[in-house]
């Protein structure tokens, strides 16, 4: 008789009735007859066929209600809001799981909160802050006694156009003396806008020697001294952000073995330390040199330098393909090494980057090549 009552109320077959009570309850859940908050059908069945089980159902409902009440007493909505404001991170509730994430990750422009994105954030520098950052271009053409660097204005204009296209605020400085360079370094070292920027770029177009560059009044300035102004200790606003230095200047007097070309070289008199010593012993730096240590770099008198022109062209080509900066510089190396016939030049990057530098693809079309 009891079997007929159950079959009539829950539409089960005799086969199911022969299974365990657990199978029976699972069948009720699948039919949406019962759930954790609604045991009405089970109560009605127990009243009819097994009244002694009612005590267990009542005990379950009572304990569940008490647990919910305790949870509400522990943390009210206002308590949770206060905790969220006090902590540097927030709790993100995804179903039954709780994930701790930083507030910055919840900005609309940040990556989606998925496992794949978390991996991307760990391997790629952020490029979603208020502004991209500053690009400083030092363009030395005229010197006290050194030769005039014809064609350098073409390089400066190319750098200006391509980095503006990438979202940077570009500042140009022409024929910079040692004193002026010191002032420029102090200005950008303490610039308040770094805190809201993604990146920092510093370009130098000048004559050079091994591990050093010339000011327009021919003071020889170590590259390391320039870069050291932007370490995390000296410039906290750029901590954990990529700091990129591109230098078009010779690093020696040898030619790696025709067009109208010149070399940005001054004969060095002393043996210099390894060029890797030019890069501060700190993370997040990249030094892109126009040539390997000990060799000259070439500049066309009207069309600009091989290195800067190649960098300009490959940034335009490969940023829209989501290529990272080191891959772009590899393409630049390959391009420059193929130029010049019997005169060869191979650029070289030194870096302490911890992640990939991938510039967001600009909405505008890349700048046109100009002459």
Q: Which residues are catalytic?
A: 207, 250
Q: What is the 3-state secondary structure (H, E, C) of the chain?
A: CHHHHHHHHHCCCHHHHCCCHHHHHHHHHHCCCCECCECHHHHHHHHHHCHHHHHHHHHHHHHHHHHHHHHHHHCCHHHHHHHHHHCCEEEEEECCEEEEEEHHHHCCCCCCCCHHHHHHHHHECCCCCCEEEEEEEEECCCCCCCCCCCCHHHHHHHHHHHHHHCCCEEEEEECCCHHHHHHHHHHHHCCHHHHHEEEEEEEEECCEECCEEECCCCCEEEHHHHHHHHCCCCCHHHCCCCEEEEEECCCEEECECCCCEEECECCCCCCCCCHHHHCCCCCCEEEEECCCCEECCEEECCCEEHHHHHHHHHHHHHHHHCCCHHHHHHHHHHHHHCCCCCCECCCEEEECCCCECCCCCCCCCCCCCCC
Output the six-digit token pair for 57: 């159902």
């Amino acid at each position: 008789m009891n079997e007929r009552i159950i079959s009539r109320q829950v539409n089960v077959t005799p086969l199911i009735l022969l299974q365990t009570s657990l199978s029976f309850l699972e069948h009720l859940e699948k039919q949406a007859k019962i759930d954790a908050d609604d045991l009405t059908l089970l109560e009605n069945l127990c009243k009819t066929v097994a009244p002694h089980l009612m005590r267990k159902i009542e005990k379950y409902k009572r304990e569940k209600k008490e647990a919910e009440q305790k949870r509400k007493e522990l943390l009210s909505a206002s308590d949770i809001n206060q905790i969220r404001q006090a902590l540097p991170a927030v709790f993100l509730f995804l179903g039954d799981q709780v994930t701790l994430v930083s507030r910055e990750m919840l900005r609309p422009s940040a990556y989606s909160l998925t496992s794949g994105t978390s991996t991307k954030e760990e391997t790629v520098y952020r490029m979603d802050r208020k502004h991209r950052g500053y690009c400083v271009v030092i363009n030395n053409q005229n010197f006290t006694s050194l030769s005039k660097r014809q064609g350098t204005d073409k390089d400066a204009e190319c750098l200006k156009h391509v980095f503006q296209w990438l979202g940077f605020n570009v500042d140009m400085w022409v024929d910079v003396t040692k004193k002026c360079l010191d002032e420029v370094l102090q200005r950008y070292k303490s610039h308040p806008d770094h805190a809201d920027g993604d990146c920092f770029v510093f370009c130098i177009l000048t004559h050079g020697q091994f591990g050093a560059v010339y000011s327009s009044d021919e003071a020889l300035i170590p590259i390391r001294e320039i870069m050291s102004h932007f370490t995390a200790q000296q410039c906290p606003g750029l901590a954990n952000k990529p700091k990129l230095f591109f230098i078009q200047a010779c690093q020696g007097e040898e030619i790696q073995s025709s067009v109208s070309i010149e070399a940005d070289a001054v004969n060095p008199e002393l043996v210099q330390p390894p060029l890797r010593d030019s890069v501060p012993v700190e993370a997040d730096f990249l030094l892109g040199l126009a040539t390997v240590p000990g060799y000259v770099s070439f500049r066309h008198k009207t069309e600009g330098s091989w290195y800067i022109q190649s960098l300009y062209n490959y940034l335009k080509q490969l940023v829209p393909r989501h290529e990272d900066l080191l891959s772009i510089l590899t393409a630049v190396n390959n391009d420059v090494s193929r130029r010049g016939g019997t005169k060869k030049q191979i650029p070289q990057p030194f870096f302490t980057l911890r992640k990939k530098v991938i510039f967001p693809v600009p909405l505008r079309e890349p700048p046109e090549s100009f002459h």
